[in-house]
Amino acid sequence: MRYAAITDRLAGLGSDKWAVHWRAKSLCADGVPVIMLTIGEPDVPTPAELIEAATRAMLAGRTGYSSGRGEEPVLAALAAKYSARTGRTVGVDQLMYFPGTQTALYAVMQGLAETGTEVLVGDPLYATYDGVIRASGARRVSVPLRREHGFHMLADDVEAMVSERSRVILINTPHNPTGAVLTRDEIGAIGEVAEAHDLWIVSDEVYESIIFDGEFASPFDDARLAQRTVVVSSLSKSHAVTGFRAGWCVGPAEFTHKLLPLSEAMLFGAQPFIADMAAIALSRTFPVTGQMREAYRRRAETLVRRLGNTTGLKVMMPQGGMFAMVDITRLGIGGEAFAAGLLEQEQVAVMPGEAFGTEGAGLVRVSLTVPDDDIEIACDRIIAFVERLTAGAA
């Protein structure tokens, strides 16, 4: 049978990169007590109030079709959020509700990028970006996020990679996997590159609420850049509702008008009862958001304190997000060998930095989404592993 070229463009994406994660899962299934530090799944339960809100909405009959743009209550809640954040009036005509950031990003990229164009994105990068860009037909162009600059995307590095085919700059702040939080000035400078070359900025802000150091900044909050910016985000990380799939995009009204038929073709709307839950989640601050942020900060600090003194390891304190990067270059082995050895010998699963791009070489990513006690035990085991490694090399 014949298949469309998109299946080839996406074939095999990710499977090798996640080898350690899948191996760890299968060890867990066999009863091996692996500490899973591979993925970013909040370790707190979804707030009962939000589950009740979705249940109430279902019982009230909010189980029919929705529209391509989304349900009125959640759109109104989002318009209020972004109007308050930007200080401008953000209308419902600038918003589209999607089942999660991932779907929003997919649709947005389909609306902006295509074969023959290029999407500039920082490397290291979030694992699914490659697939989203390739699916659009565009080519990914990597902008190196340099360790010596705390993995911040610098405008000069973006400018150096611009070509006549460039269409979109994809930014992510706070950043997965590095935890970098871009400053207003850095975003302003990247915005100048976008303006000079007439590029879109797609801003993935799924970790907006998880900042330990610095302030959140977005190109959408700058009135000048808002005309060329589309934000994608969700409640997944802020409200511990990853499986509910509650996300959105916000951008210029003309953009959402253009994207609407695509969303209708893709989705024919999302679930009204989840959208009602999202409207309630957005209506006020939920304690779970601050609790998760403080837990991640505390766990990252534990990693820095416990592993920072271990020969050969350098834990880079993230400024935000759910992960910490550990520099293992001085050990003389790559991230893949480190992660594989650590799993087999000490039953701790971390992600090799190479899974996130060329600039991830010599790093491993540690998820902060396990209880504090497990982080302490993982530190004991990592120290034991490193001591064995360095003793062997001596």
Ligand X SMILES: Cc1ncc(COP(=O)(O)O)c(C=O)c1O
Residues interacting with ligand X, by CB under 6 A?
Answer: 40, 100-102, 126, 172, 176, 204, 206, 234, 236, 242, 247
Quote the least distance from Cβ 101 to ligand X, whole Å: 3
Quote the least distance from Cβ 32 to ligand X, whole Å: 25
Phi first, then psi: what are they for 215, rounded to 5°? -120, 145
Quote the least distance from Cβ 102 to ligand X, whole Å: 3
164 Cβ neighbours under 8 A, 6+ residues apart? none
Nearer to ligand X by C-beta: 204 or 346? 204
Quote the least distance from Cβ 231 to ligand X, whole Å: 12
At residue 370, what is the residue type?
V
Nearer to ligand X by C-beta: 234 or 289? 234
Half-sphere exposure of 66 (CA within 13 A, CB side): 24
Nearer to ligand X by C-beta: 99 or 334? 99
Burial of 37 (0-12, 13-18, 19+ CB in 10 A): buried
Nearer to ligand X by C-beta: 219 or 334? 219
Quote the least distance from Cβ 379 to ligand X, whole Å: 24
Nearer to ligand X by C-beta: 206 or 375? 206
254 Cβ neighbours under 8 A, 6+ residues apart? none
Question: Residue 171's closest CA among 145, 139, 148, 150?
Answer: 145
- Contact between 179 and 319 under an 8 Å Cβ cutoff? The reply is yes
- Contact between 232 and 247 under an 8 Å Cβ cutoff? The reply is yes
Quote the least distance from Cβ 334 to ligand X, whole Å: 23
Question: Residue 207's closest CA among 199, 220, 218?
Answer: 218
- Between CA 227 and CA 211 the distance in angstroms is 26
Tokens found for residue 198: 């007439």
Helix (H) / strand (E) containing 232 = strand 229-234
- Contact between 28 and 248 under an 8 Å Cβ cutoff? The reply is no
Question: Residue 322's closest CA among 18, 34, 13, 44?
Answer: 44
Nearer to ligand X by C-beta: 241 or 331? 241
The total number of residues written for the chain in this structure: 394
Nearer to ligand X by C-beta: 42 or 73? 42
Nearer to ligand X by C-beta: 243 or 308? 243
Quote the least distance from Cβ 177 to ligand X, whole Å: 8
- Between CA 325 and CA 310 the distance in angstroms is 15
Quote the least distance from Cβ 173 to ligand X, whole Å: 10
Phi first, then psi: what are they for 166, rounded to 5°? -60, 140
Quote the least distance from Cβ 254 to ligand X, whole Å: 25
Nearer to ligand X by C-beta: 41 or 327? 41
199 Cβ neighbours under 8 A, 6+ residues apart? 120, 162, 166, 167, 168, 169, 193, 228
